[in-house]
Amino acid sequence: MKGATFYLCLLLFLLVACTRANNPGAFNGELIEVETASGAAETGTQEQTIQAVFDQDFLIQPILQGETSTRFPQYDPIEADDFILQLNGILYEKAYELLDTVGSQPTTYLCDYRTTYQSALLTSFRYEYYTYQFPAAHGLTACSGVTIDWEREEILPLRAFFCEHPIWKEIVNDRMRDYLFQEEIALFDIAAFEGVTEDQTFYLTETAFVLVFPPYLYTPGVLGVLEIPVAFTDVATYLREAYLPILLPETDLTENETGESDG
């Protein structure tokens, strides 16, 4: 079903292009929002629409009906380069990464996104998920992020923003522990908090990296997803020179010494 949805999405993009032939987008990176929704789980029906304006609020159907609803970003594929086409596939797959198509389907699967950071060089998206499997007592929430470097044409891991010296992880971990203490967030065991992982989930805001940890890893499920902001200013010394003026444009590069060259 995911494959069929993807190809239907591309077909609809082409149909939209026909109506926009006299008024093309200014550049290949024009953002288009995509909404997908299915009916009751037992019918297996699915409808998909592409629209430029989308109601921000989810209309959540009764859980016993069964519902699959996703919203995710796509960039205009008309005359797009290979990176845009590849990126669209990644953004599509990200919307469905928690949907189990092999095992039993969740009674409810919801995914939404928002743009949390946008500049000429970087774009960051935050995905939010909700899944419910009948007859569980409650559903589960999750969160993930995608951060794009348009100049390098890459999806960036967290480590890409920092110098090669591993001390940056210690600094970030210390800032996260400070945040947990200041906000009085109760962990199962503060000593068990390992901090930054190799494939750390994160996204950008205008002022911070936000590191994401799933429910039950360090905190009770009732608290939902654990999201810890680490301000750019707190780690400025360890940022790569390529990203320092982007994330902190007011920083005086002559007075700030980065921890390591870009390498």
Least confident of 95-109, 148-162, 201-215: 95-109
Q: Where does the pLDDT of residue 134 fall: very low under 50, low under 70, confident under 90, or very high at 90 and above?
A: confident
Same domain, yes or no: 74 and 123: yes
Q: Which residues pair with 70 in a beta bridge?
A: 36, 111
CA distance linking residue 131 with residue 67, whole number of Å: 10
121 within a domain of the structure (yes/no):
yes
Cα→Cα distances 240→148, 196, 237, 260, Å: 16, 18, 9, 7
211 within a domain of the structure (yes/no):
yes
pLDDT on residue 59: 40
CA distance linking residue 92 with residue 5, whole number of Å: 10
pLDDT on residue 29: 58
Q: Note the Cα 129 to chain centre separation in Å.
A: 10
For 154-158, what is the mean pLDDT? 98
CA distance linking residue 79 with residue 112, whole number of Å: 27
Query: In terms of pTM, does the model score above 0.85?
Result: no
Same domain, yes or no: 151 and 180: no
The count of C-alpha atoms lying within 13 angstroms of the C-alpha of 142, restricted to the half-sphere facing its C-beta, is: 19
Structural domain boundaries, residue 105: 2-155
Using the 3D structure, point to which of 155, 173, 206 is the last residue of a domain: 155
For 120-142, what is the mean pLDDT? 92
Same domain, yes or no: 69 and 101: yes
Same domain, yes or no: 150 and 193: no
Is the peptide bond preceding residue 220 cis, with omega within 30 degrees of 0?
Answer: no
Q: Is the pLDDT of residue 192 over 80?
A: yes
SS3 call for 115: strand
- Arithmetic mean of pLDDT over the chain: 79
Task: Indicate the number of domains in the chain.
Answer: 2
Same domain, yes or no: 96 and 181: no
Q: Is the pLDDT of residue 41 over 80?
A: no
CA distance linking residue 228 with residue 176, whole number of Å: 6
262 within a domain of the structure (yes/no):
no
Same domain, yes or no: 100 and 214: no
Rg, C-alpha atoms of the chain: 20
Same domain, yes or no: 112 and 205: no
Tell me how far apart the 2 most distant CA atoms of the chain are, in Å. 64
Domain of 139, CATH number, reads 3.30.565
Q: Where does the pLDDT of residue 40 fall: very low under 50, low under 70, confident under 90, or very high at 90 and above?
A: very low
